[in-house]
């Protein structure tokens, strides 16, 4: 391969990054056109982890797809399940008791924090800092313990049900969650000392790429990446689902779309999630955690969609029903697919080591892209 660079012809080469590269966080392959250490073109190649999830949703009663939803975005599984359950509830008109909605919000936000903590550790690991992942995993482990106690699983939760949640939370859960909120608040100072002010981190991350709001909207980017450009779009605020409208929280936004700002936005988002959990625990209403639902529940003819704010952006389910229990069509819109699609434009003429950094900032969960 030769490229024209003025009159001089440069010798380039192709490099395969992945599908088994640790910093692609899964089976993503990026085909790189290189010139020395510079990336001329980066082309993501997908399909290594495809599991026909949408087709599976269309070939069994809607109830049978519930465990699958937590296998899409397994880092923020509860939020994914929340979207599917919300969709079925919207279609069938079943309403969950208020207590169940509060429990959903609490567990979802805990899951969001655990997802961001995992991102934080893995992102810094990509940059070559080994220590922070030890701290973040310690914190994340506390969340997994709390969620394990109530959901029964540590990663691929199947906890939400149409009309409520599987198991009620008890005083131990509340006490443990409150203790965790205290703990994580004190840990933010450690992250600040260890990472935010670290000169090596700043030099690696700051002013490498600038994501513009226009570019982000062209690619349909959502979540913390979009918010880092200064667009305050969060489904929890702009189109509140569940009981999110009841809580007082802010949507952190950046200004320049810099990678450092994506980091700061995510860190602030964890703080805001803690605030939501705190308010929800304070105002947790009494009552049943599961509404009575009929055993056979066919979906009424028609279509509906439901969006949730997942840890990485807007997660949408769209379902078309022909009146039976088995959905006619189930479309899943995952945030990571759009977030990844920006890579070729964003990473043109960039150093290979910076590309690894940008890939880390995107916070990709590949099984969510390859559904």
Partner 1 sequence: MKEYFTQLYIGAKSLLVGLGVTFRALLHPAVTVHYPREKLTISPNFHGHTLLVKDSETGTHRCIVCMQCDLNCPSNCITVVGEKREGSKGKTLTAYHLDFTKCSLCGICVEVCPTQALDFSDEYELAGFSREEFHYNLLKRLEEG
* Minimum CB distance to partner 1, residue 134 (Å): 8
* Minimum CB distance to partner 1, residue 158 (Å): 4
Residues in Cβ contact with 235 at an 8 Å cutoff, skipping those fewer than 6 apart: 241, 307, 308, 309, 314
Q: Helices (DSSP H) in the chain: which residue ranges?
A: 53-58, 66-69, 77-92, 98-126, 131-151, 171-191, 199-205, 213-218, 224-227, 235-238, 259-282, 335-341, 343-346, 352-362, 366-369
Place of tokens 């290979």: 352
Q: Does 39 bind partner 1 (CB under 8 A)?
A: no
Distance CA 327, CA 84 (A): 12
Q: Does 207 bind partner 1 (CB under 8 A)?
A: no
- The answer to whether residues 163 and 89 touch, using CB atoms and an 8 Å cutoff, is yes
Specify burial of residue 203 (Cβ count, 10 A radius: 0-12, 13-18, 19+): exposed
* Minimum CB distance to partner 1, residue 62 (Å): 10
Q: Does 176 bind partner 1 (CB under 8 A)?
A: no
Q: Does 65 bind partner 1 (CB under 8 A)?
A: yes
**Other Cβ atoms closer than 10 A to 174:** 13
Strand partners of residue 5: 8
Options 71, 116, 140, 266; binder of partner 1; rule CB under 8 A:
71
* 8-state DSSP, 59: S
* Minimum CB distance to partner 1, residue 225 (Å): 26
* Minimum CB distance to partner 1, residue 153 (Å): 6
Tell me whether residue 95 or residue 145 sits nearer to partner 1 (CB atom). Answer: 145
Q: Does 156 bind partner 1 (CB under 8 A)?
A: yes
- The answer to whether residues 136 and 120 touch, using CB atoms and an 8 Å cutoff, is yes
Tell me whether residue 206 or residue 301 sits nearer to partner 1 (CB atom). Answer: 206
The DSSP-derived string for 261-305 is HHHHHHHHHHHHHHHHHHHHHHT---S-SB----SS-PPPSEEEE
Q: Does 239 bind partner 1 (CB under 8 A)?
A: no
| Residue numbers 273-312 binding partner 1 by CB under 8 A | 295
Strand partners of residue 369: none
Spatial CA neighbour of 225 closest among 234, 174, 53: 234
* Minimum CB distance to partner 1, residue 319 (Å): 17
Q: Does 238 bind partner 1 (CB under 8 A)?
A: no
* Minimum CB distance to partner 1, residue 295 (Å): 8
Stretch touching partner 1 by CB under 8 A, among 11-19, 56-64, 240-248, 340-348: 56-64
Stretch touching partner 1 by CB under 8 A, among 107-115, 130-138, 211-219, 227-235: 130-138
Distance CA 279, CA 327 (A): 37
Options 52, 174, 200, 245; binder of partner 1; rule CB under 8 A:
200
- The answer to whether residues 76 and 153 touch, using CB atoms and an 8 Å cutoff, is no
Options 34, 98, 194, 284; binder of partner 1; rule CB under 8 A:
194
Tell me whether residue 15 or residue 200 sits nearer to partner 1 (CB atom). Answer: 200
Options 67, 287, 300, 323; binder of partner 1; rule CB under 8 A:
67
* Minimum CB distance to partner 1, residue 8 (Å): 35
Q: Give residues in contact with partner 1 (CB under 8 A).
A: 60-61, 63-68, 71, 131, 135, 138, 141, 145, 148-153, 156, 158, 166-167, 190, 193-195, 197-200, 295
């Amino acid at each position: 391969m030769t490229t024209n660079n003025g009159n001089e012809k440069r010798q380039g080469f192709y490099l395969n990054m992945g599908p088994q590269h640790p910093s692609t966080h899964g089976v993503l392959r990026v085909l790189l056109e290189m010139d020395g250490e510079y990336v001329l073109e980066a082309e993501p190649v997908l399909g290594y982890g495809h599991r026909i999830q949408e087709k599976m949703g269309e070939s069994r009663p809607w109830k049978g797809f519930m465990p699958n939803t937590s296998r899409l975005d397994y880092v923020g599984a509860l939020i994914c399940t929340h979207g599917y359950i919300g969709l079925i509830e919207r279609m069938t008109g079943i309403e969950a008791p208020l207590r169940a909605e509060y429990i959903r919000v609490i567990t979802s936000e805990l899951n969001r924090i655990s997802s961001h903590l995992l991102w934080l550790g893995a992102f810094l690991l990509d940059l070559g800092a080994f220590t922070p992942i030890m701290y973040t995993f310690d914190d994340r482990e506390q969340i997994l313990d709390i969620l394990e106690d109530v959901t029964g699983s540590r990663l691929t939760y199947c906890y939400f049900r149409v009309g409520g949640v599987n198991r009620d939370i008890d005083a131990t859960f509340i006490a443990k969650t409150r203790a965790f909120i205290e703990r994580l608040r004190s840990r933010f100072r450690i992250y600040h000392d260890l990472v935010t002010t670290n000169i090596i981190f700043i030099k690696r991350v700051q002013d490498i790429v600038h994501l513009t709001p226009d570019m982000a909207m062209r690619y349909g980017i959502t979540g913390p990446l979009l918010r880092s450009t200064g667009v305050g779009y969060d489904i929890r605020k702009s189109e509140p689902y569940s009981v999110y409208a009841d809580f007082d929280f802010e949507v952190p936004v950046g200004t320049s779309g810099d990678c450092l700002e994506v980091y700061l936005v995510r860190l602030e988002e964890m703080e805001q999630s803690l605030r939501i959990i705190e308010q929800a625990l304070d105002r947790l209403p009494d009552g049943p955690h599961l509404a009575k639902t009929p055993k056979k529940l066919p979906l009424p003819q028609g279509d509906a969609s439901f969006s949730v704010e997942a840890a990485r952006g807007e997660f949408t389910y769209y379902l078309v029903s022909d009146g039976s229990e088995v959905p006619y069509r189930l479309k899943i819109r995952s945030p990571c697919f759009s977030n990844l699609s920006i890579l070729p434009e964003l990473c043109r003429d960039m150093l290979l080591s910076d590309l690894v950094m940008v890939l880390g900032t995107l916070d990709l969960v590949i099984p969510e892209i390859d559904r």
